[in-house]
Amino acid sequence: MKISRTKFAVIIFISFALTSCYTDVINSFQNFRFQIPFYFYLNYIDKSIPDTSRIFVNLNNYDEFLKHRDELASAEIVQFNYWVDSLVFSNNVAFDPERDSLIIENVRFVLIFARPKSGIVNPKDSSDFEEDTTLPRFVLGEFYNLDIRDFYRQPHHIKIISNEISQVLTEVVRSRPYFYLSSEYGKVLGQTTSKKYFSLVNVRIDIVIRFTISL
């Protein structure tokens, strides 16, 4: 029985398509993804700006990460979110978005990789670490003329993170899963003094990291 070239080509195409689908299914079974959300509740008493502060994160404190660390294929920060829960002026009057206008010239959040300090064999506490100056810093979110009214109890300012951060993050967290989140606040718009004081500031920051592991 002879097979025409057209039929032969169709058979080859179907065979290739089935092989491709099968490969995709196998790959999906070989990889597993999970996400770890980090919720930071920052409570400042007698906060002054301009100011820079840091939060330390050690991924080894998370059981889900430790369980899959050796099979880690990639790590990516998929989401960053920031808002203000409460704010009280220096005269102890609470901020009211219907009444008050408060604009900060610039606010920036930066991811800074960390490393254990020299000579510390089993680092655990944040004081055991320092900035890793051999790696670049990455800006997670930057806001200019930030109107507090827009961010006051409004958790919808979600930033999508670039792939460039993910490439470095994947390489680093396999051996040194530590980093700082730096918060940098500029002056209040129209500020004439070197510092602007607030009795209380409560801030919420969310970061979601997605991990892919090879089974």
Q: Lowest mean pLDDT of 40-44, 59-63, 91-95, 186-190, name the range.
A: 59-63
**Confidence label for 29 from pLDDT (cuts 50, 70 and 90):** low
Other beta carbons within 10 angstroms of residue 98's beta carbon come to 5
SS (H, E, C) 144-209: EEEEHHHHECCCCCEECCCHHHHHHHHHHHCCCCEEEEEEEECCECCCCCCCEEEEEEEEEEEEEE
pLDDT score of 154 more than 90:
no
Taking Cα atoms as reference points, which of 206, 156, 171, 208 lies closest to residue 33?
208
What is the pTM (predicted TM-score) of this model?
0.78
Please tell me the predicted confidence (pLDDT) of residue 67: 85
Q: In this structure, what token pair is assigned to residue 121? A: 């064999």
pLDDT value for 150: 93
Higher pLDDT, 184 or 141: 184
Q: H/E element holding 54?
A: strand 51-58
Amino acid at 23: T
Instruction: Report whether pLDDT(27) > 70.
Output: no
Which residue is associated with the tokens 């195409």?
A: 13
CA distances from 136 to 56, 167, 169, 174, 179 (A): 17, 12, 11, 17, 12
pLDDT in tens, 52-78: 999 999 988 888 888 888 888 888 888
Q: Are 54 and 131 in contact (CB under 8 A)?
A: no
